[in-house]
Structure 1
Amino acid sequence: MDSAVGGTVRYVAECIHGFEEGLCDSCYPREVKVDESKPVMKRGKAAAVRGPRTVPAGTTTRPRSRGEGRIAAARPVVPLGSRRIYHVTHISNFESILHDVAIRAGATPMIDLLSPEARAARSTAEVVAGEPVSAFVPFALSPDAAWWNLILTGAIEPTWSDAARKEAATQYIMLVGTVGAIGPDVVVSDRDAASPLARFGVGLNAASALMRSALEDDPELIHPEVLARGDYPLEQIVLLAIPNEPVRERVKQLIRDSGEQAPKLAVYPPWFQPTDPDDEA
């Protein structure tokens, strides 16, 4: 893994989420010790995030559809602020990110993954009154996000553009940041943020509660979106994942030409390969 532009790249084998050894609860699950000499106390039901309500930041909006699961009471959860988040873009869009020194909401990409209709939907769907989804930079909570897997398996749904169907997976890069870098105004949606069924956790506390609620039916958190208002600074990108060595060389050249400091670079092909549906069951 690079610490700058140059250096030797090795595969990220220890933790696919980019954490140091022992810091990832998914790749390095912690052993839970149980004192059998003490009686087990039953916990009451965790309070679910409720909706719908018209409320200010710090609350959750939009109702969950009937039949969706409740919060998993005993599942260990990495604090939301410590979680890594993933933004996928075509390599042709990276030059503008370097120029802006940030991933900017509302920027016009050279190659857009979304269809015009889907782009319009994100411009009209609101997170809170007066703030459309398009005013936020979208991230996933997993490098195996459901929407990304749809693109890797052909992008046949009307959500995606013709370009998304034509471009090879090896032409994309994945910028990895952290929820904590977004700050207290972070927003989490439990699914595609433009969906009429989406619920939003606005603010760190409500976002954490919504994420815990989503874990019951989506333990890998492949459906939620994390939203950063306005932009996400390039300096807060902790890892830049790349599908192969040729793309790595192109990225290095773009960084050299920009004069910006490089994030860590890692070639990790599995993040650019489709997930077997059986693995998500």
Structure 2
Amino acid sequence: MSLAECIHGLDEGLCDICYPKARPEPRGSVSARPKVRAATPKTSSRLAPSAKPVSTADRRLYRMTAIDDLEGILARGVIDDSAGVSGWMATTETPPSADFVFLVTAAGALAPNAHDSSSFEVVTLIGVANDPVRDRVRGILTAAGYATKVAVYPPWFASSD
């Protein structure tokens, strides 16, 4: 790998934990005192601006998969599931052990009519619980000819108890 990366698997400078941003310097105090005015009710002929529609294309979707199933997915190049797109979830659930990985994609990357399967190419990140699992997953990806980003993110695997 040509770029340096942090312990979480992110490129140098992209991890706020390993490379925290400098705190902004506090502003000096204002010497002039603000004028105090009595509040007057304003009437406006304008209507309140309508809320913009929320774009869900950029929302991340997560899919929990057993590491043992990852090799088969990579060999086929397809994430196959009878549950289809519903196998992807907008919020994460706590997996029972480090034997699982999270496949992460953007909602906009999935075809709107994808009912039974998704191409593995839509996966932009694989989240793992620890460094040994990251190394194992990288080996599986390399053997299959994929260069998908693998990041260690323990909070996804922390027990909610």
**After TM superposition, is the score higher than 0.5?**
yes
What is the aligned counterpart of 2:99 among 163, 171, 178? 171
Looking at secondary structure, tell me which structure has more helix per residue: 1
**For the Cα contact (< 8 Å) 2:127–2:153, is it kept in 1?**
yes
* Partner of residue 103, structure 1: 79
Q: Distance in 1 between matches of 2:143 and 2:6?
A: 21
Q: Deviations over 1:108-157 (max 9, x none)?
A: xxxxxxxxxxxxxxxxxxxxxxxxxx3545111123xxxx24x54xxxxx
* Partner of residue 31, structure 1: none
Q: Residues 188-227 of structure 1 correspond to what in structure 2 (within 5 A)?
A: none
What is the aligned counterpart of 1:231 among 94, 100, 117? 117
Greater relative contact order (Cα 8 A, min sep 6): structure 1 or 2?
A: 1
**For the Cα contact (< 8 Å) 2:84–2:116, is it kept in 1?**
yes
- 1:271 CA displacement: 0.7
What is the aligned counterpart of 1:265 among 146, 150, 161? 150
**Identity of matched residues, %:** 27
Which residue identity is paired with 1:255?
L
Q: Distance in 2 between matches of 1:178 and 1:261?
A: 18
**For the Cα contact (< 8 Å) 2:141–2:148, is it kept in 1?**
no
Which residue identity is paired with 1:93?
D
Q: Which stretches in structure 1 are left out of the alignment for 5+ residues?
A: 16-35, 44-72, 107-133, 153-168, 186-227, 277-281
- Root-mean-square deviation over aligned CA pairs: 3.3
Structure 2 SS opposite 1:103: strand
> CA, structure 1 residues 103+41, in 2 after alignment: closer, same or farther (shift >3 Å)?
same
Q: Distance in 1 between matches of 2:156 and 2:90?
A: 13
Q: Which has the larger radius of gyration?
A: 2
Aligned residues: 132
Residue 8 in structure 1 maps to residue 5 in structure 2: yes
Residue 241 in structure 1 maps to residue 127 in structure 2: yes
Return the TM-score normalized by structure 2.
0.66
**For the Cα contact (< 8 Å) 1:104–1:137, is it kept in 2?**
no
Q: Which stretches in structure 2 are left out of the alignment for 5+ residues?
A: 18-40
Structure 2 SS opposite 1:246: helix
